[in-house]
Amino acid sequence: MKKITGAVIFILVFSLSVAQSLVGTVSRVSDGDTLHLETPEGKYKVRFYGIDAPEISQDYGLESKVFVAERVLGERVKVDVVSTDRYGRKVGKIYYGYGYRNYLNRKVVEAGYAWWYRYYAREDRDLQEAEAHARKYKAGLWRSTDPVAPWEYRRSKKKGSQKGRAASLDRVVYVTKSGEKYHRAGCEYLKSVAGSYTIKEAEARGYTACRKL
């Protein structure tokens, strides 16, 4: 009975480890920490575990994407899957080259094209050492005197868009007596003015934006 139980446990553990590895061809590189993988089992969007590359609109964002593409685009890679994120992407460690010996996540950080994502990989010594190396030798983004971490950049962009939306809601618009739309001053569809409101007030009253706004 013990032998049978041991065999069952071994099979379960072996099956789990196999299920958590993907091998396929990289069909697309979105940026420095995201790629698309085609395997016999299907297509996957893969987010690199433990690193955060600059957004494409940031300094070194494009260079980070190119760094990854030059190494794996159109090539076979192995992904050791760590988890699946809330967007349905596989989060994993990517290996490439002969025998899949090159750890891409580390390579990107070591070259200064991504940050060690401490929040999600606090205990990963490989990535910690890679960032320390990049900082020491001022590789990639560390040439900048004050590089902005991608998570801080995204947070500031989000706050900015929220402020922009709040400001736009205070913009004054105009409505007609019988229409259901609100218009900007001078709109060709604004034949006569029956009232003026802020966008927030107009929408609260059931008006919707004119397509010319």
Q: Provide the annotated active-site residues.
A: 47, 55, 89
Cα distance between residue 154 and residue 177, in whole Å:
43
Encoding tokens for residue 145?
A: 């005197």
121 touches 131 (CB < 8 A): no
Cα distance between residue 108 and residue 134, in whole Å:
10
User: Token pair 């200064």 is at which residue?
Assistant: 112
Handedness of CA 157, 158, 160, 161 (dihedral sign): positive
Sequence-distant (6+) residues with CB within 8 A of 77 are 23, 24, 25, 26, 37, 94, 95, 96, 100, 104
Cα distance between residue 69 and residue 37, in whole Å:
13
DSSP character string of 2-35? HHHHHHHHHHHHHHHHHHTEEEEEEEEEEETTEE
Sequence-distant (6+) residues with CB within 8 A of 148 are 58
